[in-house]
Chain A
Amino acid sequence: MIKLAEILELPSVEETTLLTNWDSLTVLSAMIAIDEANGCQVSGQSLSDCSTVLDVLRLAGAE
């Protein structure tokens, strides 16, 4: 969550936080963060399809 907040350049995030500034840079950063935290590689497309922080957390846990 802290890492996601950094990536999104927000002071903090909650599961319901909307990914309003979800662009190519943040998607690439999130791919690396998930790989480093969970050791799994998620696709850029599946991340681009996320609309909330919870979607990202689910994706990171699911793949």
Chain B
Amino acid sequence: MSCAATANSLRLRGVTTVVPKGEVLNAQIDGALEASKVTGVVARRWVRSVYDQKDMELFAAQKLLIELGWEPSSVTTLIHVTQTPYVDVPAGAYELHDKLELPRNCAVVPVNWSCSGYVMGLWLAGQLMGVNSSARTLLVVGDSTSTICDPADRATRPLFGDAVSATALDLWRVPVHTQKFTVGSDGRGAEHLRADLSHTLSMNGAEVLQFVLRNVPHMARELLDRPGADYVLLHQANKMMIDALRRKIVADCGLRTEQIPCNIEKFGNCSSASIPLLVTSLFSGARPRALDLALLGFGAGWAWAGARLTLPQDCYVEGFEL
């Protein structure tokens, strides 16, 4: 399904990310060095006992509200995307709503999406805000995937890192062609990347790769049919997959390899937070101009989502450790 934006489009006002302090290196994990031939991961961050996922999400969101000068009472929607909820009922999003002191008329939308979750969340925010020009949305995404990996599983344990992100969104009027979303789903892939009720993640890497090769290049071509993209930000799945996608996008869409950055070696696969983690890794601080970005998320479901949008020059972008 594709849906071009109308006159009112999403505006990124701020993006923050938070990762746990302290790297976990390959030497500290059984099988990680061997796995790194595929994963490309050298270090990752895992939540420890001091601060957990909820603390990091709260920090990311509070920091964003303060930096933007947004009163909590002005937030009309909180979208919370995670595949590692820290409570079953009610959704953890309500604790965030409480701690952030968001108003009673703020809609809370908890969603279980994984690696496609950031872009899916942006798409959802746009759908929910519609034409309400006073709407303000907080999109909080994040996972502590390390907590659902079997310590003995050499496919998942070395691959995943933990990270969270908060994104502030409102609406602005921009030319229709400057923003585009595409989303897709294929539930036949559900069995290949899943965590059952015992909360242990299992992954069939070959099936994931086949799904990605079949769907992501097509999504990239769809988003990049208009020239001018400054960067393509891919979900950081694993290095072998990223390299294959890079080669295809460079060949198909005429971009340069350096326009498709990669940071998986530093953070591992951080699920839904991997794309905002690229944003804060690359674009923190002052920027000379607005940037035209294509974001591509894909993962468990199967689910995939792409966005072509502007990172405004004045969008607050910062990464933190906690």
Residue numbers of A with Cβ under 8 A of B are 24-25, 27-29, 31-32, 35-36, 41-45, 47-48
Q: Give the complex CA separation of A24 and B35 in angstroms.
A: 10
If A24-B155, A32-B213, A41-B214 are given as contacts, then 13 extra A-B residue pairs at C-beta distance below 8 Å, sorted by A number, are A24-B205, A25-B37, A28-B209, A29-B240, A31-B209, A31-B213, A32-B244, A35-B244, A43-B207, A44-B206, A44-B209, A44-B210, A47-B206
Give the chain A neighbours of B213 by CB distance below 8 A.
31-32, 35, 41
Whether A28 and B214, one on each chain, are in contact in the complex, defined by CB atoms closer than 8 angstroms, is no
A21 CB, nearest partner CB in chain B, Å: 13
Q: Is the CB of A28 within 8 A of B240?
A: yes
Main secondary structure of the interface of A (DSSP, over half): helix
Question: Which size class do B's interface residues fall under?
Answer: 10 to 19
Give the docked Cα–Cα distance between A27 and B209 (Å). Answer: 11
Interface membership of B133, Cβ < 8 A: no
Please state if B210 and A41 are interface contacts (CB–CB under 8 Å). yes
Residues of A within 8 A of B247 (CB): 36
| Minimum CB distance partner of B192 in chain A | A44
A31 touches B206 (CB 8 A): yes
- Nearest-neighbour CB distance to chain A for B155, whole angstroms, equals 8
| A50 CB → nearest B CB, Å | 13
Inter-subunit contact B38/A31 (CB<8 Å): no
Q: Does B74 contact A (CB under 8 A)?
A: no
Q: Are B204 and A44 in contact (CB under 8 A)?
A: yes
> Which of B206, B209, B214 lies in contact with A45, CB distance below 8 A?
B206
Q: Which of B174-231 contact A (CB under 8 A)?
A: 204-207, 209-210, 213-214
Task: Report whether B240 and A44 are in contact in the complex, using a CB–CB cutoff of 8 Å.
Answer: no
The 8 closest A-B pairs by CB, nearest first: A44-B206, A32-B244, A41-B213, A35-B213, A41-B214, A41-B210, A31-B209, A28-B209
Tell me, in angstroms, the Cα distance from A57 to B92 when the chains sit together. Answer: 51
Least Cβ–Cβ distance between B171 and chain A, in angstroms = 39
B38: chain A residues at CB < 8 Å are 24-25, 28
Q: Return chain B residues, CB-CB under 8 Å to A48.
A: 206
Q: A25-B38, A35-B213 are in contact. Are A43 and B206 (CB under 8 A)?
A: yes
Residues of B within 8 A of A42 (CB): 210
